[in-house]
A and B are shown apart, each in its own frame.
Chain A
Amino acid sequence: GIQVEQSPPDLILQEGANSTLRCNFSDSVNNLQWFHQNPWGQLINLFYIPSGTKQNGRLSATTVATERYSLLYISSSQTTDSGVYFCAVEGGSARQLTFGSGTQLTVLP
Chain B
Amino acid sequence: GAGVSQTPSNKVTEKGKYVELRCDPISGHTALYWYRQSLGQGPEFLIYFQGTGAADDSGLPNDRFFAVRPEGSVSTLKIQRTERGDSAVYLCASSLIGGQADTQYFGPGTRLTVL
Q: Is the interface of A mostly helix, strand, loop or mixed?
A: strand
- Interface SS of chain B: strand
Contacting pair A41 B56 (CB below 8 A): no
Please tell me if the beta carbons of B89 and A33 are within 8 angstroms of each other in the complex: no
Say yes or no for B85: interface residue by CB 8 A criterion. Answer: no
24 contacts between A and B (CB under 8 A): A30-B102, A33-B103, A40-B108, A41-B89, A41-B109, A43-B43, A43-B106, A45-B103, A45-B105, A86-B42, A86-B43, A88-B42, A94-B56, A95-B31, A95-B55, A95-B102, A96-B48, A97-B33, A97-B43, A97-B45, A99-B43, A99-B44, A101-B41, A102-B41
What distance in Å separates the Cβ of B48 from its nearest Cβ neighbour in chain A?
Answer: 5
- Chain A 78-107, CB-CB to B under 8 Å as 1, else 0, gives 000000001010100011111111100000
* Chain A residues whose C-beta falls within 8 Å of the C-beta of B35 in the assembled complex: 96-97
User: What is the size, in residues, of chain B's interface with A at 8 Å between Cβ atoms?
Assistant: 25
- Find out whether the CB atom of B108 lies under 8 angstroms from the CB atom of A41: yes
